[in-house]
Amino acid sequence: MEDRRMWNVSLVRSVFSSYESNKILQIPLCARPGKDRLIWKDSSIGQYSVKAGYRLLRTRASPPQASGPSGTNASHLWQKIWAISTLPRCKELVWRACKGVLPVRMNLKRRGMEIDTTCPCCGEAEETTTHALLTCIGIRRIWFASHLNIHINEEIPENFLGWLELVLEHPNEDTMADIFNLIWVIWKRRNAWLYDGQLWSFERSLAKAAAICIRQDTEVDGLQLGKTQRGLLNSHKSGCGPWCNYQGC
Ligand SMILES: [Zn+2]
């Protein structure tokens, strides 16, 4: 309530979950009247830029979260993720997935939201990070249909971080970059379905991942696959790695 310089508690509680309400109501209000405005606190002029965001991510190369299930040091893991030669947005997404902070439904429920945790894509399982990025039925098909030929079955580590640790052991940097790119596309595909009602076909999903591989940053809506991209999608890499349960690998 602007005139009294205090939160409208009933309004906040009616809009947000109890967890979020409590966090919001703990924010101290400025004693002086004035309009609110968004400020990027890590910039001297208070405005966000990609450069400022990139710089912040680099300076936070030693994140606060401790180790994963097999004792991996978080800082070491972050450095390995950051060393992958792909776009920062792909690496940041993978890191958020490892930390368990992607807004998949199980994570939102864990944070106190009253929410149906069923996967919005298949409707057959709870939407965990692992499910959203790896084991959802449509996502498995994408992994397998990609040039990576990764066959994901129930035997993969339940925890996404556990799976990624296996991935990061792979010696081929290009393969790791391709995996990161595909994870990013899979997440965008999920959000396109959830928020825009758009269902990306396998071809479109793989074309987007291939475009990242080729040009590092390309929007490919409506892209017709060229020769090189078709090759990227179709070429097989045998013996792709310990995370792949495909027979013969
Ligand atoms: Zn699903």
Distance 38 CA to ligand 1 centre (A): 36
**Taking all residues of the chain, what is their mean pLDDT, rounded to a whole number?**
75
The pLDDT-based confidence of 60 (bands split at 50, 70, 90) is low
Angstrom distance (rounded) from CA 146 to CA 64: 34
Distance 124 CA to ligand 1 centre (A): 6
- C-alpha triplet 227, 212, 107: angle, nearest 5°: 135
Q: Looking at the predicted structure, is the pLDDT value of residue 136 above 80?
A: yes
Could you read off the pLDDT of 1-21 as tens digits, one per residue? 666 778 888 888 888 878 788
Which helix (H) or strand (E) is 107 found in, with range? helix 105-110
Q: Is residue 25 located within the same domain as residue 72?
A: no
Domain that holds residue 19: 1-29
Q: Is residue 120 located within the same domain as residue 199?
A: yes
Work out how many domains the chain is built from and give that number.
2
If you average pLDDT over each of 32-36, 53-57, 172-176, which comes out highest?
172-176
Q: Is residue 120 located within the same domain as residue 23?
A: no
Kindly give, in sequence order, each residue whose CB lies less than 8 Å from that of residue 99, ignoring residues fewer than 6 positions away: 63, 65
Over 40-66, what HEC string results? CCCCCCCCCCHHHHHHHHHHCCCCCCC
Q: Is residue 24 located within the same domain as residue 72?
A: no
Distance 194 CA to ligand 1 centre (A): 12
Q: Is residue 59 part of a domain?
A: no
CA 26 to the chain's CA centroid: 28
Kindly give, in sequence order, each residue whose CB lies less than 8 Å from that of residue 176, ignoring residues fewer than 6 positions away: 84, 167, 168, 170
Q: Is residue 106 part of a domain?
A: yes
Q: Is residue 225 part of a domain?
A: yes
The pLDDT-based confidence of 61 (bands split at 50, 70, 90) is low
CA 108 to the chain's CA centroid: 14
Whether residue 138 contacts residue 127, with contact meaning beta carbons closer than 8 Å, is answered with no
Distance 241 CA to ligand 1 centre (A): 24
| Count of CB atoms situated within 10 Å of the CB of 160 | 26
Angstrom distance (rounded) from CA 134 to CA 53: 28
Distance 51 CA to ligand 1 centre (A): 35
138 burial level (CB within 10 Å; 0-12, 13-18, 19+): middle
